[in-house]
A and B are shown apart, each in its own frame.
Chain A
Amino acid sequence: MQTLLELYHYRFILSNLVGRNLKVMYRSMSLGMLWTLLNPLVMITTLTVIWVVVFGNSLSFAARVIVALIPYNFTVYCLTGCVHAIPGSASLVKKSAFPRQILPIAIIATHLIHFGIQSLLMVLMLLLFPLEGGHFGFHLLWVVPIFLVQLAMCIGVGLLVAGLNVVYRDVQYITESLLTVLFWICPLVYSDIELSKLPPWLYHLFYMNPLSGLLTSYRDVLFHGHMPGLVPFGQAVVGTLVVGWFGIRTFWKHERDFADLV
């Protein structure tokens, strides 16, 4: 809570850092932020061609993937960015005294802008391919709590990897490898039937990962058109609390040494 108040006080630093991040990312690109739409478009096109054209599934399959893929991308971008948040701003950390957590949070805020742009793609898709059962209703409000839990999870895990990567230099490689595994241990490309074939212990292991619960909840609300299942969403909340507590503790523990280590 105190961290949040502090963030409000340091909002000016935050906006300057987000501006810098955007500028570094799009330094020499004339199309600028439109590039952020390219990656999900390529991904969806590939998936659609393979699943719909080659294997003859229905077109709604693409919509089913995209509603989970875009939140998934946000998480991955946040974590890959956070790993380098502190060393990437070494000159600021060494020379100025400001709350260090602003650096990873500025990375997350930057990707939040990308997430917003990519979500427009998602909305467009849902308008183009309206699904049976009706999409528009009060259940859509569930997106807000789901998103807030996801944001909290990104901050928690982001602080964890940002802090550890200053102290141990292999954390960035470990994170990269784990993110590759993450793609396959999330309900992204699997159908519900495939998931239900899992043995129960593996199914529970699968949902230990808080992102699984979040992606399932997004899909329930945006694709299936009903409120999220309380079990996967509850698991995501618990997972986020655990990982967030651990992340904040780890970051605090090492925060004072950052200037000496980067």
Chain B
Amino acid sequence: MDCAIRLCNVSKCYRIVRQQPFLASTLFRALLRRSRPPDVHWALRDISFDVQKGEAVGVIGSNGSGKSTLLSLIARTSYPTSGEVHVHGRVGPLLELGAGFAPELTGLENIYLNASLLGLQRKEVDAKLDSIIAYAGIGDFVYSPLSTYSTGMSARLGFAVIAHIDPDVLLVDEALSVGDQDFQRKCMETMEGFKRRGKTMFLVTHDMPLVQRVCERTIWIDKGRIAAQGPSADVIAHYTDRSPRPPS
């Protein structure tokens, strides 16, 4: 089978920025040859895995474990400090809410902007526009600026665009939990449709039943390293055992 996503020894390091540096002081320090080593935080350490074409993989882990960093590397908005990331095909990133939206534009204009950022041309958007609006199901709000939208409404619009760009690799980050029942059902149908058509899915979420239902394989990330990976049921069981339970 073909490989859709491949990560080889990927590490990502962020400089801990207490204050963004000034150009003036940087030049001054360079002149004096006195530079301070920056404080760093390794968000991901030595991550390697393959995702086959058509596979659905879930990523779980506590807050701050590096899940979203991992997605941003696959979405190519950010680059690894070391190691290599290979992604084949068009990526449909659904990273957080209102990804790639401008609040001052109307829903309609945002559909065009968002779709263009995802690599569509004008004609393709024109052809799919009615279908996108119907899928989002937000009524006349498509003609209002996005700043007037509720969180759920912008998530609907975002997912409506992604559902229509026909990505080869779908990346989803926590975005679906804010929608209502009707919308979540619609998203499930779309994701299952993607799966049937042999698309690859990469799902980051805290919603364990969703992972279990959609993903055959799950990767558990803890403190920037892979803690476990394998069949979803096993990894989730392992994860819920290790995590502190909420008081009942």
Contacts and interface: CB of A to CB of B under 8 A. Distances in A.
Interface of A: 10, 12-13, 16-17, 19-20, 23-24, 27, 89, 91-98, 164, 167-171, 174, 256-257, 259-261
Interface residues of B, number: 35
Given A92-B102, A96-B100, A168 B79 contact: no
B78 A98 contact: no
Interface of B: 14, 17, 20-24, 26, 72, 75-79, 91, 93, 95-96, 98-102, 104-105, 109, 112-114, 116-118, 120-122
A27 B104 CA distance: 9
Contacts of B121: 12
A95 B98 CA distance: 9
Contact of B104 (A24, A94, A174): A24
13 contacts: A12-B121, A16-B112, A16-B116, A19-B105, A20-B105, A23-B104, A27-B104, A92-B117, A95-B100, A97-B75, A97-B93, A257-B79, A259-B77
Contacts of B105: 19-20, 23
A78 B197 CA distance: 47
Given A16-B113, A260-B78, A95 B95 contact: yes
Given A168-B26, A169-B20, A13 B116 contact: yes
Nearest to B15: A260
B91 to A, nearest CB: 7
A20 B113 contact: yes
Nearest to A89: B102
A174 to B, nearest CB: 7
Contacts of B101: 91
Contacts of B98: 91
B26 A95 contact: no
A72 B98 CA distance: 38
Considering the complex of A and B, which 7 residue pairs feature the smallest CB-CB distances, nearest first?
A168-B23, A95-B99, A97-B76, A96-B117, A169-B20, A96-B100, A170-B22
Contacts of B99: 91, 95-96
Contacts of B17: 261
B23 A170 contact: yes
A13 B72 CA distance: 21
Given A92-B102, A93-B77, A259-B78, A12 B122 contact: yes
